[in-house]
Amino acid sequence: MDVREKIVRRTALELKDGEVVNLGFGMPVGVANYIAPEKAIIFQTENGALMFGPTPVLGKEDPDVANAASQPITLLPGASIFDIATSFAIIRGGHVDATVLGALEVDQNGNIANWAIPFAEGKYLPGMGGAMDLVGGAKRVIAILQHCDKKGQSKILHACTLPITGKGVVDTIITELAVFRVTDKGLMLEEMADDMTVEALKAVTEADFIVPDGNPKHYQVV
């Protein structure tokens, strides 16, 4: 199991039966492939679909229906396809229970930066999409990302350095190493990978985080 698959598998466990859940661009779209059969999750994509399922078998895809990453999806019974204005009315109207968003950076105060990709000194490739609407409209924001960048630097920070998508909006942070909750008391460690210790996790995490009494739970995947 590679790092990205581990993250999306763990994220699937966060979703609750009956929730309307938006899956953002990138890694989040993979979450739809790992939902337990007993959970009736109503997935929504910002480009205009409601109630879709996992990636279809090769040859069974419909080129007219896709997720936020333009990848094919399966439509479940009762599914609906609509224009983007209707899609954002759902998001802005507060009808999305949770959104799963990829992130470039998150910080210990629940801030997220996920749309301005740096490509040169002081220059960014914009890719905002619906992220700012989602962090404002969804009841719960789950940020998923690899724990460190390609240089080994933490992406879980004291404070985001990239342009902010939303301030204080993140509820949960999931990486391949840990699961954190953003609380009034600070960033709380909830789960940790089996091969990690608290000391090792602190060494690769810039943000300050609280370790609850006793050992954190082992990282779960489906």
Beta bridge partners of 100: 23, 142
Burial 69-100 (b: 16+ CB within 10 A, else e): beebbbbeeebeeeeeeebbebbeeebbbbbb
Question: Which positions are annotated as active-site residues?
Answer: 46
Range with the poorest average pLDDT among 71-85, 158-172, 205-219: 205-219
Integer CA distances (angstroms), 128 to 1, 37, 52, 53, 164, in order: 30, 33, 23, 25, 11
What percent of the chain is modeled with pLDDT above 90? 81
pLDDT value at position 213? 82
For residue 175, give both structure tokens: 């990486």
pLDDT value at position 107? 98
pLDDT value at position 206? 98
CA angle, residues 170, 172, 175, in degrees to nearest 5: 115
With cut-offs at 50, 70 and 90, classify the pLDDT of residue 126. low
Could you give the CA distance from residue 31 to residue 99 in angstroms, rounded to a whole number? 11
With cut-offs at 50, 70 and 90, classify the pLDDT of residue 67. very high
What percent of the chain is modeled with pLDDT above 70? 97
Q: Are 123 and 147 in contact (CB under 8 A)?
A: no
Report the chain's mean pLDDT, rounded to a whole number.
93
Residue at 64: amino acid letter: D
Integer CA distances (angstroms), 127 to 118, 131, 182, 216, in order: 11, 9, 25, 35
| Domain 3-218: CATH class, spelled out | alpha beta
Range with the poorest average pLDDT among 109-118, 166-175, 190-199: 109-118
CA angle, residues 94, 97, 101, in degrees to nearest 5: 100
Residue 120 above 80 pLDDT?
A: no
CA angle, residues 99, 16, 192, in degrees to nearest 5: 80
Residue where the block lists tokens 């789960």: 191
Q: How far apart are the first and last CA of the chain?
A: 11
Residue 125 above 80 pLDDT?
A: no
140-168: average pLDDT: 96
2-29: average pLDDT: 96
Could you give the CA distance from residue 192 to residue 129 in angstroms, rounded to a whole number? 31
pTM: 0.94
Range with the poorest average pLDDT among 144-148, 161-165, 200-204: 161-165
53-78: average pLDDT: 92
